[in-house]
Amino acid sequence: MSQLIIKGGRRLHGEVAVQGAKNSVLPILAATLLTSDTVALEGCPRLRDVDASMRILEGLGCSVRWEGNTLTADTSVLHQWEISDILMREMRSSAVFLGAILARCGQAELSYPGGCELGPRPIDLHLAGLRELGAEIEECGGLLHCKASRLRGKEIVLSLPSVGATENLMLAACGAEGVTTIANAAREPEIVDLQEFLNACGARVSGAGSSTVAVEGGRKLHGCTYRVMPDRIATATYLCAAASAGGEVFLRGAREDHLATVTAVLREAGCTLESDPAGIRCACRERPMAVRPVRTAPYPGFPTDAQAILMAALLRNRGTSVFEENIFENRYRHVDELTRMGARIRVSGRTAVVSGVDRLCGAAVRCTDLRGGAALCVAALAAEGETQVSALRHIDRGYENLEQDLKALGADAVRT
């Protein structure tokens, strides 16, 4: 089993180009099914979750190939509308294929995504919205049988702004007759990216980035070449790496407007950040200062995906910093591993209180989930001695090459 060996205590100094956004590319790959044509996605990150999406597309009959970081999908042929249980289990976010397959084929069959390492991962809002568009969905033995001879546009009100439900409904709505509006839609930048991709294929989608997304359905979509937006959580990871280890980094292609809540906390912690159209520069000269409570919330609030990573950067804060996790039930699993490194964190329900320590020490730690795993690496950069991070499969779901990026930033990181 491979491990990432990080020798901490080195200040960072260097530059990396930020990878394309995982959470953009996954729904966009599902959206390619709406085109019956060829789509080239530039700046596509090579990730385990992208591989899983490719296998889903191939399983349906499409052909997909890499050329450098461009992923080309030819979706002209579709043999079937089922996704196997094995593929569904590989990636919890595969539910977003449901809307696209339904729009394309009028039926779909896949297994229920079930729970994941962050806790329950319900898709009730996805299913309720699809039913409102006219889909008949039967849930039986963990399988979802979905049929829709005709989808019809409608006003759908989401009870909470779910990212996946908004995306799934946008895709299904492209195949529905008339106009669909999604109220209380998620406002994440990845939703805007999906809208821009769909419109580049000839769809008429508007409002993404606001709480109401409108889709004029029934248009024939065509292929296109599209560049995926930069990954805001990978950006947050490298900014937090600098805050943890100290030093100065430049993240080429990073967009501060996508992560203003994260950069605001890092400034409060004492880092200096400057951004321009080329990227973000971040300099952190001293141990981080304590920050006001960080509460995760749907965008534009503080992203749950950056919670563990920021916590890792603040383990040596000069005081006490409080986190409140409001999106997922089980998102403090990294805490026990950080504690092994000498962190002082008290968790009570959805709150975690981080009392700053003078020093962290290297330890053998295990990734519990994707961002929790990245958090261990961020902490290791500030720890004395060597940290061995195992269960890297979690990290490989979302980072194209974490250790090379850390090395480019001046860290001593090796995968064995």
Q: Does 411 contact ligand UD1 by CB under 6 A? A: no
8 Å CB contact between 16 and 251: yes
- What angle do helix axes 22-31 and 189-200 make, rounded to 10 degrees? 30
Helices (H), 71-204: 85-90, 97-105, 124-132, 163-174, 189-200
Stretch that binds ligand UD1, among 70-78, 118-126, 340-348, 360-368 (CB under 6 A): 118-126
Nearest to ligand UD1 of 238, 302 (CB atom):
302
Contact string 70-99 vs ligand UD1 (x = CB under 6 A): -----------------------x------
Nearer of residues 271 and 375 to ligand UD1, judged by Cβ: 375
Please, what is the minimum distance in Å from the beta carbon of residue 310 to ligand UD1?
14
**Which residue is at the shortest CB distance from ligand UD1?**
164
Site string for ligand UD1, 120-159 (x = CB under 6 A): -xxxxxx---------------------------------
Count of C-beta atoms within a 10 Å radius of residue 62 = 20
Least CB distance to ligand UD1 at residue 166 (A): 8
Catalytic residue chosen out of the listed positions 44, 116, 282, 284: 116
Q: Which stretch binds ligand UD1 (CB under 6 A): 160-168, 260-268, 310-318, 361-369?
A: 160-168
Q: Does 164 bind ligand UD1 (CB under 6 A)?
A: yes
Using CB under 6 A as the binding rule, whether residue 304 contacts ligand UD1 is answered as yes
DSSP-assigned states of every residue in 200-254: HTT-EEE-BTBSEEEEE--PPP---EEEPPB-HHHHHHHHHHHHHH-EEEEEET-
Q: Strands 344-348 and 351-355, how do they pair?
A: antiparallel
Helix (H, G, I), strand (E, B), or coil: what is residue 300? coil
Alpha-carbon torsion angle 117, 122, 126, 128, nearest 10:
180
Measured from the CB atom, the residue of 208 and 383 that comes closer to ligand UD1 is 208
* Binding segment toward ligand UD1, per CB under 6 A, in 115-123, 147-155, 210-218, 344-352: 115-123
Helix (H) or strand (E) holding 136: strand 136-140
Classify strands 320-324 and 351-355 as parallel, antiparallel or unpaired.
antiparallel
Note whether 184 binds ligand UD1 by CB under 6 A. Answer: no
- Among positions 77, 86, 157, 160, the unique one binding ligand UD1 when judged by CB under 6 A: 160
Cα end-to-end distance, the chain, whole Å: 9
Q: Of residues 112, 328, 332, 399, which one binds ligand UD1 by CB under 6 A?
A: 328
Residues contacting residue 234 through CB under 8 Å, at least 6 positions apart: 18, 19, 21, 22, 398, 399
Whichever of 123 and 176 has its CB closer to ligand UD1, that residue is 123
- Phi-psi category of residue 191: left, alpha or beta, with phi > 0 → left and psi -120 to 50 → alpha: alpha
- Residue 67: count of CB within 10 angstroms of its CB: 9
Quick one: which segment of 116-124, 247-255, 337-345, 378-386 binds ligand UD1 (CB under 6 A)? Answer: 116-124
**116 a catalytic residue:** yes
Task: Kindly state whether residue 165 participates in binding ligand UD1, applying the rule CB under 6 A.
Answer: yes
> Which of 33, 163, 265, 310 is close enough to bind ligand UD1 by CB under 6 A?
163
> Which residues contribute to the site for ligand UD1 (CB under 6 A)?
23, 26, 93, 121-126, 160, 162-165, 186, 190, 304-305, 327-328
- Which residues are annotated as catalytic? 116
